[in-house]
Amino acid sequence: MKILRYIPWVAVIVFGLLVPQLLGQNPYYLNLALEAATWALANLGLTVILGYTGQISLGQAAFFGIGAYATAIVSLHTHSLWMGLIAGIALTAIFGLIIGLSTLKMAGHYLAMVTIGFQVLISLVLNNWIPVTGGPNGITGIVRPHFFGISMLDDKPFLYLVIVILMLVASGVHVLRRFTWGRALRGIRENELAARVMGVNAFLGKAVAFTVGAAIAGLGGGLYASAAMYISPSTFNFTQSVTFLAMTVVGGAGSAAGTILGTVVLTLLPEFLRFLQNIYLVVYALIVLVVVVLLPGGIWSTVERLWQRIVAPTLPSLKSGSTPRPNLVTAGAPVLTLEGVSKSFGGLKAVDDMNLTVLGQEAHALVGPNGSGKTTVLNLISGVYPLSSGTVMLQESRINGLPADRITARGIARTFQNIRLCKEMTALENVMLGLHRHRRATFLGNMLGSPASRREQRDFEIRAMEALNFVGLSELALRPAVSLAHGQQRLVELARALVAEPTVLLLDEPAAGLNDTETANLLAVLNRLKSQGTTILLIEHDMALVTKLADRLTVLNFGRKIAQGSVEEVLKDPLVLEAFLGQDKEEEHAEAGS
Ligand SMILES: Nc1ncnc2c1ncn2[C@@H]1O[C@H](COP(=O)(O)OP(=O)(O)OP(=O)(O)O)[C@@H](O)[C@H]1O
């Protein structure tokens, strides 16, 4: 029932608006609620950075602090909290962007170290830049606004204001997750290389995630400063950053609702544990650990799973008869040209002076013994590796030297030998990621749930369903990729490449690991693609499949091209026979020896 889907929204809004009423006039609880609501904003920033994009930030309290101080200082000078908030958001966004830019060179633990360093630096500045920050004494007398003529000096109306702002930001973060940019960020988290090859500029995505995540924390910090009317550096230290991280992870970093839940739970927990006096921190830490270990997706992921059992998501509709269309090029015209392409890894020449021309609408197979450089050729074409020398032309334009996402945008799409799907995302979402290069809606539009974002979402859903239907998997569209069989995962990858409407489709051993039935099914799909005029460059060890599909064949051995031509011609070539027979003999020896 569609109406059931709105119940969580209504429940959240009613609960949020009831909280100030339920707390009555108790100043302690009102303060606690104000604190939790502003912390929840800092944590929503972390949802975008960590939960969606998978980037560790241990400096969220620094962003929160920069927002608080900038808001306090500017609002004290201008007597306007709104001016203060704008300054706070802008300044934290700039700092967020700077940290985000460091992701070009840093990832994982190194990035975590950068954010810790940033946190420590900001704490030092807040403590020691006394003329501006007031040093350890902090800043007092921070203004509270008038809003539509209502004074916010009382905690209760101010709490209402903060809760409304929190809900607006939370709904922005929530809807971002399902639209194009949110999907791209999640793609970066789950499989950055796959996302890049599907046309996502991962560096830009991470920089934007940090900028937006920091700006949201800055907003939270500004509201915190106004709520407390007094700030000092001790509120924005490393311990607070760790607390923010714990709140986000315990609730569920991957969703806005989980983040708010985690913030509420870990704000209230110390209150419930006060009776334990000295050992309450130990118990607090144990509870956090237990939740993190037992519920890796956070408390909310369990709630979400239960909810999906009650309200099962419905399959998007399919337009009958439509199929993904390749970007057609003239049959027989050169489409993809490699000239003098070489790639060395240290002393090893994996590809050596390779020349290759793929013609329009042909299926061209690249074969050769193990380690002969086939996958490296595909990696060079798709921008995964830079070339050591040579050029790669797609029709008239040179594509080597471009980043992978721009090469995809020019018309190259590929699959991988070792399947690279975003495993926690559904098959449908994985395929929709392949449509990233066709996006129109902006990041902000996605967060605001703009009509353009909604239209794009519907259009992408239909196109992705068509592609899944084309490979025979539309019924499994809503299953997480990780739950699909190996052969099905290969077809999802193929569907993901098809929706990009490539000029040239690169397939790296699509039949690897498939049984006979799955291989026959794959061959039928590839033959249908061929009959539509798709230009295909394929690596494959299954020579039966190659013989049935390929128009021409190029053979590599030790990184060098040793033969090229029609399948029949090439398979009679003595050099080719020697290369393959040599390999067979090696394999026989190996088997005899084992
Ligand atoms: N990133 C890398 N770093 C170092 N060496 C590499 C790298 N990628 C490939 N190589 C080496 O380059 C050579 C060619 O590897 P490549 O994977 O292109 O061969 P292949 O023909 O695709 O093999 P297979 O059929 O087994 O997949 C191999 O010796 C491999 O070890």
pLDDT score at 435: 93
Which residue has a Cα nearest atom 18 of ligand 1? Answer: 373
Q: Which residues contact 379 (CB under 8 A, 6 or more apart)?
A: 385
Is the pLDDT reported for residue 324 higher than 70? yes
- Residue labelled with tokens 């300044």: 91
Task: List residues bridging with 357 in a β-sheet.
Answer: 337
Where b means 16+ CB within 10 Å and e means fewer, 377-396 reads bbbbbbbbbebeebebbbbe
- The topology under which CATH files domain 334-411+502-593 is Rossmann fold (3.40.50)
Which residue has a Cα nearest atom 10 of ligand 1? Answer: 350
Q: List the chain domain ranges.
A: 2-238, 334-411+502-593, 426-500
| DSSP conformational letter for 411 | T
Task: List residues bridging with 336 in a β-sheet.
Answer: 358, 394
Give this prediction's pTM.
Answer: 0.88
- Beta-strand pair 535-539/363-367: parallel
Q: Is 557 in the pocket of ligand 1 (CB under 6 A)?
A: no
Is the pLDDT reported for residue 107 higher than 80? no
Is the pLDDT reported for residue 594 higher than 50? no
pLDDT digits (tens, 9 = 90+) for 35-46: 999 999 999 999
pLDDT score at 180: 95
Which residue has a Cα nearest atom 25 of ligand 1? Answer: 370
Q: What is the DSSP string of 500-557?
A: T--SEEEEESTTTT--HHHHHHHHHHHHHHHHTT-EEEEE-S-HHHHHHH-SEEEEEE
The whole-chain average pLDDT of the chain stands at: 89
pLDDT score at 22: 79
Element (H, E) at 567: helix 567-572
pLDDT score at 110: 85
List, in sequence order, the alpha helices (H) in 274-350.
280-294, 298-310
What is the rounded average pLDDT of the residues 69-80?
93
- C-alpha gyration radius of the chain: 28
Cβ-based burial of 316 (10 A; exposed 0-12, middle 13-18, buried ≥19):
middle
99 close to 211: Cβ distance less than 8 angstroms:
no
Which residue has a Cα nearest atom 28 of ligand 1? Answer: 371
Cβ-based burial of 350 (10 A; exposed 0-12, middle 13-18, buried ≥19):
buried
Cβ-based burial of 8 (10 A; exposed 0-12, middle 13-18, buried ≥19):
middle
Distance between CA 530 and CA 536 in Å, rounded?
8
Which ligand 1 atom lies nearest to the CA of residue 376?
18
Structure tokens at 173: 């973060």
Structure tokens at 392: 């790669």
pLDDT score at 163: 93
pLDDT digits (tens, 9 = 90+) for 175-211: 999 999 999 999 999 999 999 999 999 999 999 999 9
Cβ-based burial of 115 (10 A; exposed 0-12, middle 13-18, buried ≥19):
buried
Whether the complex's predicted ipTM surpasses the cut of 0.85: yes
Q: How far is the CA of 234 from the centre of ligand 1 (A)?
A: 53
Is the pLDDT reported for residue 439 higher than 80? yes
What is the rounded average pLDDT of the residues 564-575?
84
3-state SS assignment for residue 335: strand
Q: Is 386 in the pocket of ligand 1 (CB under 6 A)?
A: no
203 close to 52: Cβ distance less than 8 angstroms:
no
> What's 252-280 look like in SS3?
CCCCHHHHHHHHHHHHHHHHHHHHHHHHH
Q: How far is the CA of 148 from the centre of ligand 1 (A)?
A: 67
Q: Is 375 in the pocket of ligand 1 (CB under 6 A)?
A: yes
